[in-house]
Amino acid sequence: MTDDVKINRGLKGIYFERSGVSHIDGRAGELLYRGYTIHDLAEHSTFEEVCYLLIHGELPGAAELDAFDAALRAARHLPAAVHEIIRATADGHPMDVLRTAVSALAALEPDSRETGAEAFLRNGIRLAAQVPMIIAAHEAIRNGRDPVAPDPALGHAANWLWMLTGEKPSAEAARLADVDFILHAEHGANASSFAARVTVGTEANLHGAIVTALATLAGPAHGGAAEDVMKMVREIGTPENAAAYVKAKRAAKEPVTGFGHRVYRAEDPRARHMRDGVRKLGEEKGAPEWYEILQAVVTAMQPYARHGLNVNVDFYSGVVYQLHGIPMDLYVPIFAIGRMPGWIVQCLEQQQSNILIRPLTLYNGPQRRAYVPLGDRD
């Protein structure tokens, strides 16, 4: 009898595998990477160090970090054919261009079809370096400029800002971008990571899995919150309008963007590390009003915190990007830059004890019926 079958739509609350990568306690508002709190990592670590931790399971020593960082910098290269593909698709959405370019790399890179753990690691490091290059190159090309060559003297986050803008970022701006990447690096079996694992479950290569992850991240229900927050801030206009905006949204039973999360009932632990950064960057850029609007929204939303409507990480990210003059359609691609190590390690984990991920759907269509030839149908 199918009446006894419980359907868990969206697989909510379902454990499909064990993982040693990240731990999320939604009620306590806690996030750990490999046992280390997101607070310690955001305050004391670098994105390169966090990448190493996620992929290898332990914090690196100085020599290990130097070697890993050198490998990332050495991989900052795109085949000429990829630049041609970017030019041919220049009018497309940046996520479509990014996905297409990564798919092209699968056909252009010599060992992309290899599926062993070592090949996944090599291809993962290369893709982590190439993804920000693709995004920056597309932004330049669609605006009639030549892509900016990477600077081997700059770290991952600083080099990304350099390639995007052609200007060397301040130490504070580079550090904030670094922290943003750390906060987005890994988050368990989210939609894009799960999709990547499903792909690896078929014994596909890493490039295929990353293409799957990018396609999934592009959906507005997963990666689009930062862009929506910036649209909200623009609509509010001034801090004085925030309370009325929130009141109207709540009266209409509409969500206030940047509040609430699928797994967190308490405040998203990543949010506080962007809060101070937005304030400082706003002062540096001479635009403190964006931070003031955000905080006015936070104040207006305080009565609803008991319902689990707390600030999430995307609430502040959009304003960081706005202060850098980054177009809104690049917000999700920036998310992808940060999430690369998480996707890579999720794929590595899936491969270690691989199994085809094949859940069931409960049929609720017509019962067996007789076939009627075409000529006998009315």
pLDDT at 157 over 80: yes
Single-letter amino acid code for the residue at 224 = G
Out of 178, 180, 314, 324, the active site residue is 314
With bands split at pLDDT 50, 70 and 90, how would you rate the model's confidence at 265? low
Sign, CA torsion 201/207/213/216: negative
pLDDT at 324 over 90: no
Percent of the chain with pLDDT over 90: 72
DSSP assignment of 70-83 equals: HHHHHT----HHHH
pLDDT at 96 over 80: yes
Q: In degrees rounded to 5, what are phi and psi of residue 32?
A: -120, 140
With bands split at pLDDT 50, 70 and 90, how would you rate the model's confidence at 264? low
SS3 label, residue 50: helix
With bands split at pLDDT 50, 70 and 90, how would you rate the model's confidence at 116? confident
pLDDT at 229 over 70: yes
pLDDT at 50: 98
User: Sheet harboring 30-33: ordered strands across?
Assistant: 22-25, 30-33, 36-37
Out of 83, 261, 273, 324, the active site residue is 261
For the chain, the domains span: 22-222+331-352, 225-323
CATH class of 225-323: mainly alpha
Percent of the chain with pLDDT over 70: 97
Per the annotation, the verdict on 261 as an active-site residue is yes
CATH class of 22-222+331-352: mainly alpha
The string of pLDDT tens digits covering residues 162-209 is 999 999 999 988 999 999 999 999 999 999 999 999 999 999 999 999
pLDDT at 228 over 90: no
Q: In degrees rounded to 5, what are phi and psi of residue 259?
A: -120, 140
Per the annotation, the verdict on 156 as an active-site residue is no
Computed over every residue of the chain, the mean pLDDT equals 92
Beta carbons of 27 and 268 less than 8 angstroms apart: no
Count the neighbouring beta carbons within 10 Å of the beta carbon of residue 343. 28
pLDDT at 227: 83
Question: Residue 100: in which H helix or E strand, if any?
Answer: helix 94-108
